[in-house]
């Protein structure tokens, strides 16, 4: 099963963002992961619209928008127009998540839900018919560099067991170390959001992006 390697651009060097995008692109990553925060749904602010525009202009690879914002249905057209290929919403942030997921698909984009550590499989089961991706959070959303929450392992198994029935891909977001990539890929996780644990900062350990990608593909 091919791994989808998705660098979390919130962790990139913003002083040289365009160069970072080109270097990651050339290294062979699959999807650029963009965290969008509003300071309400999560107690932090994430990437700006100008950052999304720059990244979109700098690569032909897929980019996703992880909308950690209230009322994401109001902004589907905005991020679709910016060129995001995949749009994730948190069901808790939307009064009508099924309608918003359909809205994403109607805009010609892949629809996804982000599942918080405290959100159960059963809570979002009815939405899976409208999902192309399920982003399982192994940390609480809003901040980079957090510790992996072990009790989510069972949730990964649940979503992987149901993915063929509903037709979505399972992606991990949060403290995604090489060890976790090796473990989770064996149970059917296909996508890996790469932050400080595997790609940037301490995860890089002085290696080039190409070397990191090559090593992760071997796991």
| Pair 137, 158: CB distance under 8 Å | no
Residue among 30, 35, 81, 94 flagged as catalytic: 35
pLDDT of residue 210: 96
Chain segment 179-200, per-residue pLDDT in tens: 999 999 999 999 999 999 999 9
Residue among 51, 94, 132, 173 flagged as catalytic: 173
Is-catalytic flag, 64?
A: no
In which band, very low, low, confident or very high, does the pLDDT at 146 lie, cut at 50, 70 and 90?
Answer: confident
| Alpha carbon distance 26, 15 (integer Å) | 19
Does the pLDDT at position 100 exceed 80?
A: yes
pLDDT of residue 61: 98
Q: Where are the beta strands (DSSP E) in 73-132?
A: 86-89, 110-115
Average pLDDT over residues 175-181: 95
Q: Where are the beta strands (DSSP E) in 106-190?
A: 110-115, 133-137, 169-173
What domains does the chain contain, in order, with CATH numbers? Answer: 4-218 (3.20.20.70)
Is-catalytic flag, 25?
A: no
């Amino acid at each position: 099963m091919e791994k989808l390697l998705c660098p979390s651009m919130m962790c990139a060097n913003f002083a040289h963002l365009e160069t970072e995008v080109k270097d990651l692109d050339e290294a062979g990553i699959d999807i650029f992961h963009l965290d969008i925060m509003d300071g309400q749904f999560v107690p932090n602010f994430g990437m700006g619209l100008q950052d999304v525009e720059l990244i979109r202009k700098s690569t032909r690879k897929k980019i996703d928008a992880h909308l950690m914002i209230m009322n994401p249905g109001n902004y589907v057209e905005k991020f679709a127009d910016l060129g995001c290929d995949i749009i994730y919403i948190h069901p808790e942030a939307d009064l009508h998540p099924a309608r918003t997921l359909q809205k994403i698909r109607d805009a010609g984009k892949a629809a996804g839900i982000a599942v918080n550590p405290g959100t159960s499989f059963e809570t979002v089961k009815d939405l899976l018919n409208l999902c192309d991706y399920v982003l399982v959070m192994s940390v609480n959303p809003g901040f980079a560099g957090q510790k992996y929450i072990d009790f989510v392992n069972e949730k990964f198994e649940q979503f992987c067991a149901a993915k063929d029935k509903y037709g979505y891909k399972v992606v991990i977001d949060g403290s995604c170390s090489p060890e976790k990539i090796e473990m989770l890929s064996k149970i059917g996780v296909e996508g890996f959001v790469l932050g400080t644990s595997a790609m940037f900062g301490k995860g890089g350990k002085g290696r080039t992006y190409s070397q990191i990608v090559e090593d992760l593909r071997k796991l």
